[in-house]
Structure 1
Amino acid sequence: MAEAHQAVAFQFTVTPDGIDLRLSHEALRQIYLSGLHSWKKKFIRFKNGILTGVYPASPSSWLVVVVGVMSTTHAKIDPSLGIIAKINQTLNNTGVISSQTQNVISGMLFSTGLWVALIITMRYSLKMLLSYHGWMFAEHGKLSRGTRIWMRLVKLFSGCKPMLYSFQTSLPRLPLPTVKDTVKRYLDSVQPLMDGTEFQRMEALAKDFNINLGPKLQWYLKLKSWWATNYVSDWWEEYIYLRGRGPIMVNSNYFAMDYLYVIPTHLQAARAGNAIHAIHLYRRKLDREEIKPLMLHNTIPMCSSQYERMFNTSRIPGIETDTIQHMKDSKHIVVYHQGRYFKVWMYHDGRLLKPREIEQQMQRILDDASAPHPHEEKLAALTAGDRVPWAKVRKSYFGSGKNKQSLDAIERAAFFVTLDDTEQGYRKEDPVMSLDSYAKSLLHGKCYDRWFDKSISFVVFKNGKMGMNLEHSWADAPILGHLWEYVMATDNFQLGYSKDGHCKGETNPNIPLPSRLQWDIAEECHMIIESSFSVAKSLADDVDFHSFPFDSFGKGLIKKCRTSPDAFVQLALQLAHYRDKGMFCLTYEASMTRLFREGRTETVRSCTVESSNFVLSMEDPKETNEHRLKLFRIAADKHQHLYRLAMSGSGIDRHLFCLYVVSKYLGVDSPFLKEVLSEPWKLSTSQTPQQQVELFQLDKNPEFVSSGGGFGPVADDGYGVSYVNVGENLINFHVSSKYSSSETDSHRFGKNIKRALLDILALFNLSSNKKKSA
């Protein structure tokens, strides 16, 4: 075992001649290499801190300024307008420094001050430039002359070779909309969902809020927006995620899938070896800040703060609220297989294990025939059930001894791994059920074979398929999507496999065996584990999931319609929902606010008066296609406008949410806010963006298309829909609902989505992929 191997570093015996001390040179070597690795990471972080701290300048630019100033002073020119002379005079009063040394110190002090002033000026100028969002509202492909000049200025002040966190201090704060504007936009959004009487009542509540309570709450919120970096994010994380007392499995956690059609190797241990190595390569790039910050139009930077807690992070249960525990570093992972937990060190000889060595460790676990400890198998069900029982059990039964040591190993691990004993993935002979089963397995599994509190639970199935289950509180899907794209591309295109399906390279018999985590679980604790499992199992069994690829056409053809692919899909979802339920509903589409510091998400309310008019025209047999097409373009333009407002900090829901939080702190009730915050999102949607298309080169490798990812239903009688535009000719959908609702059926809704997409395309008289191939 790894711990036993290290424990014999020092051995000694007492002899008549004194102490006979024998040293284990291998153990001492490992200790030396481990320390070297730690100090290397500290140095890299220190260096990156300096580089980020002086960006958009560089440390070498300080030397340029110093040389420039000293050269001018040597030429009897004073660039400081007398400041250097005053510094010189002050130093002269000390009487301990020579005249020549005084001149050098004075010049360097002024140069440093000038350099710092230039950095501050560049940062402030960049922040002012990035506060402008008019470029977003320009017609696609038509940038005005003013916008082009603005983009050149942004590039000028952005410096060269930015690191991941270089732009953080230059990003503007999230702006606070006025109460009047937010309330007006809210009323516009609910108009298609209410009859005349209901809308008049809501208008009256809104008017009263606008005049009386709203301004008072806004004053406190404005104070927070001046003081805090972001007036939304901390409350959003705490009240939407961490204070939730129900299960996070299905309700909060989400998943990411593997390639749709391809499995690079069917050897489970080999696929795990390559992927785990690729994840650690990404973590190393993240630690060194070598990942380039995401930039729109290759010019406008987005916030990178969510990357900070990607690894070595776990959600810790509490009685009233959970907390997020993040470790600076972790050198091990924890692997679950058939009811047992194994701790696996990821470093040996001061280096990261190679893919073949990790495969060797995974195979050792797969070959281990030992039985689980009593009550160990379903232990992770505690993370799948309600939070309060888990918090109480953790305090009572996992606060000391071997239970605490084993729990610490899991919570301090870089990430969690499950070697699943089922086979999953797309099967030609049963495409519908195979993808549905794959999605449900990643969303909840057996309810006890994923550690749902870990930021990342990486899953490798028996047939080599893989995926991830992801905790939501610390970051949003695009952050993990960036990691997942890197892992899938590195696994297949960079690392690859040998002809027999194994990872490339050689095994290493000197690596210590994975060590079993030890547990001593009391009978009373076992009863609570079973209770949590029962809660989680009921929730999982109620999930009606339908995952399907739509390959009739994709964004390539949609662009020929001269409309946004996202608006096209969102209007198709509105049409599909109306056909599915015969009514309109409050619709949530997630957008991002990462153009601002510590920005997370905002809501686009996709059901509008304009979208409703279009949907009704599609269902009216008397309407002409010309008029339907006109209404479609009006609705699509409105959707794009709302999306841009959300991205630029002028959304509705985060502002209303924060006003509601302030009202609770003040102990005042607002009938308007109470009603707004209680409205159910019966259609919750999210687009998974592809961020690194160049990694896959789909024109050369068309079979390596991503499946995307999905999430559970938000409302008991509603739908959750996730979709990803893959390449030019494919859209993958993931639809979730609950079997317990008589109003929903995920497969029925999936059919309505396909039909709606084809019906809208027919308005443009364009042929789909299938028609072209036929």
Structure 2
Amino acid sequence: MRSTSSKPSRPFGRPRLPVPDLRKTLDRYLASLEPLLLEDEVRNGTPFEAAYTLRHKWADEFERGIGRVCQERLKALDSASPHNWLDDNFWTKKAYLEWRAPLLINSNWWLAFHDDNLIPEADGPSQNYAGITKWQRRRAAWLLHRMLEFKDRVDIQELHPDTTRTGIWLRDSVSQMFNLGRIPKHQCDILSEPVRSSTASRKVYIVVHDYFYSITVYSPPAPGSTSPQLLNVVDIEQQIRAVVRDVEKRLSNGERATPIGVLSSDDRDRWAANLTHLLSLSPKNQEIHQIILESLMGLSLDHATHVIPSSPSSVPRIRSSQPSQSTLDSHLHAIRSTSTNVSNRFFDKPLTLIVDPSAQAGAMGEHSPCDALVPSIVAEYGVIQGVDLNQFEEAAALEGEFTAEDVPGWERLDWVVDNYIRQECVKAHESARKAIDNSDDSVLWFEGYGSDWIKATTKLSPDAYIQMVLQLAWYKARGEFTATYETALTRMFHKGRTETLRTLTKDSRRWVLSMLDPSCPPEKQYANLKQAVQTHTSLTREAATGKGIDRHLLGLRLMLQPEKNETTPLFNDPLFNTSSEWKLSTSGLSAGHLFRGTGFGAAYEDGYGINYLAAPDMIKFGIESKFSNPLTSTDGFMAAVVDALHQTASICHSENVQLSTLASHL
């Protein structure tokens, strides 16, 4: 349905996100209930026909009554909205800013980069300052420079120009990653406005040993130009070196920073109250917070490499030629945050680069301004080209000739604190430690096959195939089905972000049950898989083209006026909530050649958060759950995923299936 807005319908070459057709949304919603109703019937609940007929009746009444009113209100809101009805009014607040849970694990994403093979073996201790190594500093400078170079090249359309919809979407999305931050407020946070012209907008803030600093990474615009110039990588590294030498001097004098960063990991209302108190202590604190918000991005230099001991595992995850499981998990945990580095972060920033003394690197970010795919694209550009050793040769010759004071561009960002803030830091650290200790986070590298084999052998969509595997794994692990969330992008629309793709369908349920039926022949199991994948692919297309249901249902609910006693059994139905309890919350990224792993927190205490990377010859899964819940185990679920991947491949390898697949493509 075309928007009735008087605003341009195709701003910058992309259409407005439509308000979906009400009847079609209701029909798709009813279809999404079918597998849940079938399961309820099997488990001695209400017979399917009776339960489905009742929901259909409620949907019909809603369409003819208050639903029609809500739909018209939604269209009117769209007409009054500059970009679209959803993102201008609801999504960021409802999905992120009103959420009071800590950003740590619950909301922020994390991404572990592959090592840079061009970096030499570690130098001796004489090259270290405050536990920060030379190649740690250099890789940090290199990655900062590369990521900012990507931002600049996209901005001037040297990369991904506006001649394509992808280019327009990417430039708009990348602009939401830099020079802004999330500000905690009581009940609902806000986002700062991106600032591109202040002195702080040319800076990056750094956290080292819990001390905050800033470095200047752009020179002011040249005469006749409006664009600042990105400094060369050596100048950036010199400022980083000056910072860590200053930190070493402070530590050697017995000083210790108040770990302000850990306050940002706390419950949002508590952080809001603490920030208000902190800013009231001194105008200097207000200035520091503004610098952090307006700065391009953050850099956390950890002074220790996180290592967890190796332990035997029954899960066949990786080959011996690859990094050990303990190495992969140690790296992933360090980026997610550990109890020893959590105060060396500031969780309100959309992009923070993290580098440890071994030069292992990664990134984490606050989710509300843009979705994780965007920083992963920026990170890929940063990682794909390793450190150019030649650029550091001259700097190496002058390594010891400059003091920190000789290097321009950096400054201390020293907070003014009192005993109350010190005590709150201790409490916040304890809360963070409990959350981290409860986070069962790991990465699975499955090398049995990848997207190339899936496409060539099964002739199916790799993403849909993986989603079916996750359905099978969940059922194997839990003996039941659950509502499943997959992220679908609506980037074809102006200011579009995401839509929910409901993976659990009547067809995916039928396939899973057939895989557990020893009497079901492989040909039938494959036919069921093919139908489930086709259904999933159709849902993917609908979600991506503005015909998804969950954002529309959200908008309709928010158009009800409770003060006028407007209500509907459709939304009061307990099954309405159950159908969107995403105990299996999933999202796919790129092929992940340059990433060791990635992750985000489970949406429910008894569920899993799963981010997967499908490469041509392997599939990586980042999986997070909670140790405290007896129904979940990340190790156990990884074993179920491996088993499901092998079992699904086995039916595709069946001779009869192979002949049937070949014949269908002749």
Q: Does 1:438 align with 2:331?
A: yes
Superposed CA deviations along residues 26-65 of structure 1, whole A, max 9, x for unmatched, are: xxxxxxxxxxxxxxxxxxxxxxxxxxxxxxxxxxxxxxxx
Q: CA deviation at 1:534?
A: 2.6
Q: Does 1:519 align with 2:409?
A: no
Residue of 61, 85, 99 corresponding to 1:244: 99
Alignment of 1:285-324 (within 5 A): 285-293=153-161, 302=169, 304-324=171-191
TM-score, scaled relative to structure 2: 0.82
| SS of aligned partner of 2:531 | helix
Q: Does 1:577 align with 2:460?
A: no
Tell me, in whole angstroms, the C-alpha distance in 2 between the residues paired with 1:305 and 1:378.
Answer: 34
Tell me, in whole angstroms, the C-alpha distance in 1 between the residues paired with 2:415 and 2:173.
Answer: 34
Tell me, in whole angstroms, the C-alpha distance in 1 between the residues paired with 2:334 and 2:475.
Answer: 30
Counterpart position of 1:689: 590
Counterpart position of 2:279: 398
Residue of 274, 277, 289 corresponding to 2:142: 274
Q: Does 1:357 align with 2:235?
A: yes
Q: 1:593 to 1:502 in 2, by over 3 A?
A: farther
Tell me, in whole angstroms, the C-alpha distance in 2 between the residues paired with 1:653 and 1:260.
Answer: 39
| SS of aligned partner of 2:389 | coil
Q: 1:279 to 1:406 in 2, by over 3 A?
A: same
Counterpart position of 2:389: 497
Superposed CA deviations along residues 58-78 of structure 1, whole A, max 9, x for unmatched, are: xxxxxxxxxxxxxxxxxxxxx
Counterpart position of 2:79: 226
Q: 1:295 to 1:288 in 2, by over 3 A?
A: closer
Tell me, in whole angstroms, the C-alpha distance in 2 between the residues paired with 1:487 and 1:404.
Answer: 32
TM-score, scaled relative to structure 1: 0.71
Q: Which amino acid aligns with 2:344?
A: D
Counterpart position of 1:757: 645
Superposed CA deviations along residues 429-455 of structure 1, whole A, max 9, x for unmatched, are: 972222223222222333322110011
Q: Does 1:672 align with 2:526?
A: no
Give the gaps of 5 or more residues in structure 1: 1-126, 129-166, 694-703, 768-774
Q: 1:504 to 1:620 in 2, by over 3 A?
A: farther
| SS of aligned partner of 2:560 | helix
Q: 1:622 to 1:665 in 2, by over 3 A?
A: same
Say if 1:425 and 1:435, in contact at 8 Å, map to a contact too. no
Counterpart position of 1:206: 59
Say if 1:685 and 1:721, in contact at 8 Å, map to a contact too. yes
Superposed CA deviations along residues 469-512 of structure 1, whole A, max 9, x for unmatched, are: 1111101112112211111124x1xx522499998997795532
Q: Does 1:594 align with 2:488?
A: no
Q: Which amino acid aligns with 2:351?
A: I
Give the CA RMSD over aligned residues: 3.0
Counterpart position of 2:70: 217
Tell me, in whole angstroms, the C-alpha distance in 2 between the residues paired with 1:224 and 1:504.
Answer: 60
Q: Which amino acid aligns with 1:471?
A: E
Tell me, in whole angstroms, the C-alpha distance in 2 between the residues paired with 1:749 and 1:261.
Answer: 31
| SS of aligned partner of 1:623 | coil
Q: CA deviation at 1:283?
A: 2.9
Q: CA deviation at 1:280?
A: 2.2
| SS of aligned partner of 2:488 | strand
Tell me, in whole angstroms, the C-alpha distance in 1 between the residues paired with 2:357 and 2:455.
Answer: 40
Say if 2:22 and 2:63, in contact at 8 Å, map to a contact too. yes
| SS of aligned partner of 1:599 | coil
Counterpart position of 1:420: 302
Q: 1:394 to 1:620 in 2, by over 3 A?
A: same
| SS of aligned partner of 2:181 | strand
Kindly tell me the number of residue pairs found equivalent between the two proteins. Answer: 587
**Which is greater in Rg?**
1
Residue of 466, 470, 480 corresponding to 2:375: 480
Counterpart position of 1:715: 604
Q: 1:489 to 1:303 in 2, by over 3 A?
A: closer
Tell me, in whole angstroms, the C-alpha distance in 2 between the residues paired with 1:358 and 1:337.
Answer: 16
Residue of 436, 447, 453 corresponding to 1:557: 453
Alignment of 1:114-263 (within 5 A): 168-194=11-37, 195-196=40-41, 197=46, 199-228=52-81, 229-234=83-88, 235-259=90-114, 262=117
| SS of aligned partner of 1:313 | coil
Say if 1:237 and 1:473, in contact at 8 Å, map to a contact too. yes
Superposed CA deviations along residues 580-606 of structure 1, whole A, max 9, x for unmatched, are: 101111000001011111100001101
Superposed CA deviations along residues 410-442 of structure 1, whole A, max 9, x for unmatched, are: 222211110012325999697222222322222
Tell me, in whole angstroms, the C-alpha distance in 2 between the residues paired with 1:504 and 1:646.
Answer: 53
Moved more, 397-406 or 506-515: 506-515
Tell me, in whole angstroms, the C-alpha distance in 2 between the residues paired with 1:766 and 1:497.
Answer: 52
Tell me, in whole angstroms, the C-alpha distance in 2 between the residues paired with 1:546 and 1:270.
Answer: 28
Structure ranking higher on relative contact order (CA contacts 8 Å, 6+ apart): 2
Q: Does 1:470 align with 2:365?
A: yes
Counterpart position of 2:519: 622
Q: CA deviation at 1:303?
A: 6.7
Tell me, in whole angstroms, the C-alpha distance in 2 between the residues paired with 1:733 and 1:199.
Answer: 36
Q: 1:273 to 1:337 in 2, by over 3 A?
A: same
Q: 1:614 to 1:431 in 2, by over 3 A?
A: same
Tell me, in whole angstroms, the C-alpha distance in 1 between the residues paired with 2:257 and 2:180.
Answer: 22
Q: CA deviation at 1:245?
A: 1.7
Identity %: 28
Q: CA deviation at 1:322?
A: 1.2
Tell me, in whole angstroms, the C-alpha distance in 1 between the residues paired with 2:606 and 2:549.
Answer: 24
Superposed CA deviations along residues 305-359 of structure 1, whole A, max 9, x for unmatched, are: 3222221111111113211112124121111111211221224597533222222
Say if 1:684 and 1:721, in contact at 8 Å, map to a contact too. yes
Q: CA deviation at 1:532?
A: 2.6
Say if 2:151 and 2:174, in contact at 8 Å, map to a contact too. no
Q: Which amino acid aligns with 1:542?
A: N
Counterpart position of 1:92: none
Q: 1:306 to 1:348 in 2, by over 3 A?
A: closer
